[in-house]
């Protein structure tokens, strides 16, 4: 049964006769049209990487970042509508601050993912608002060790060892499944994440892009930080070389 065009897609508070909420499905389409974002949970930390599409040569490099710091030990990468991602990052910061004020300790990553999931889900209940057009990858280190979660436009969230969202998610997931993530260090994961982002971008043959990578691990003392410039250059160089080797083969 199909309900497209019959009026059931006009509001996120209306179910179609076959039990679907079309506005949430359309929000997922907005995510699928965005550049790819991936997260790797490895033995000593978490790495987040984003394929940030460059829509104009006039844009200032490294502006409009899609990886945000929401607490000292937690980072957030988004795929979808950039403005929605910024709003959700600000909400995540408020939730992390609230947790610290209430419990006098840093927020566990799962607790923050749970709060964000509830917040996103609330925007699927009322006809006066629209669902968030983003999927968010939340990564950090807490008492339980490295943690990685994905919050989807419906509000549901899952824990992952490796996650991918956005246009190239299928190919990225295939590449992530080939890795022994539990044996990798964060530095090795940086190289792998750069390779995967270059691979999915080349497969799509899309516009120019900027590689954006951040990490949380022993080399950052448990803080969420962008990778150093020299490491970024090395990772980008290795990724391009690996891509060239695959094309030769």
Answer for the pair 39, 139: CB distance below 8 angstroms, yes or no.
yes
Collapsed DSSP state (helix, strand, coil) of residue 201: helix
Residue listed under structure tokens 């590449």: 175
Answer for the pair 72, 100: CB distance below 8 angstroms, yes or no.
no
Closest C-alpha to 198, from 168, 158, 231, 163: 168
Q: Report d(CA 224, CA 248) in Å as an integer.
A: 37
Residue listed under structure tokens 């950039």: 82
Which residue among 36, 69, 124, 186 is the active-site one? Answer: 36
Question: What letter would DSSP give residue 61?
Answer: T
Collapsed DSSP state (helix, strand, coil) of residue 144: coil
Collapsed DSSP state (helix, strand, coil) of residue 207: coil
Cα radius of gyration rounded to whole Å, the chain: 18
From the centroid of its chain, how far is CA 87?
A: 14
Buried b (16+ CB within 10 A) or exposed e, 71-94: bebbbbbbbbbbebbbebbebbbe
E strands in 88-144: 134-142
Q: Decide if 36 is catalytic.
A: yes
**Active site residue ranges:** 36
């Amino acid at each position: 049964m199909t309900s497209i065009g019959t009026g059931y897609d006009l509001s996120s508070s209306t179910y179609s006769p076959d039990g679907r909420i079309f506005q949430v499905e359309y929000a997922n389409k907005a995510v699928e049209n965005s550049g790819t974002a991936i997260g790797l949970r490895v033995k000593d930390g978490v790495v987040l990487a984003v394929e940030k599409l460059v829509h104009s040569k006039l844009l200032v490099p490294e502006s409009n970042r899609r990886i945000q710091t929401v607490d000292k030990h937690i980072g957030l990468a988004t795929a979808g509508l950039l403005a929605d991602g910024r709003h959700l990052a600000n909400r995540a910061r408020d939730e992390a601050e609230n947790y610290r004020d209430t419990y006098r300790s840093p927020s566990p990553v799962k607790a923050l993912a749970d709060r964000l999931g509830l917040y996103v889900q609330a925007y699927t209940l009322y006809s006066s608002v629209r669902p968030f057009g983003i999927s968010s990858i939340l990564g950090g280190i807490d008492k339980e060790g490295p943690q990685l979660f994905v919050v989807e436009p419906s509000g549901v969230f899952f824990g992952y060892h490796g996650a991918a969202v956005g246009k190239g998610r299928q190919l990225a997931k295939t590449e992530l499944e080939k890795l022994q993530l539990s044996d990798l260090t964060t530095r090795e994961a940086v190289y792998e994440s750069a390779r995967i982002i270059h691979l999915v971008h080349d497969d799509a043959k899309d516009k120019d892009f900027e590689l954006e990578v951040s990490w949380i691990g022993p080399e950052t003392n448990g803080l969420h930080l962008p990778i150093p410039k020299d490491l970024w250059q090395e990772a980008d160089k290795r990724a391009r070389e690996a891509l060239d080797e695959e094309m030769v083969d």
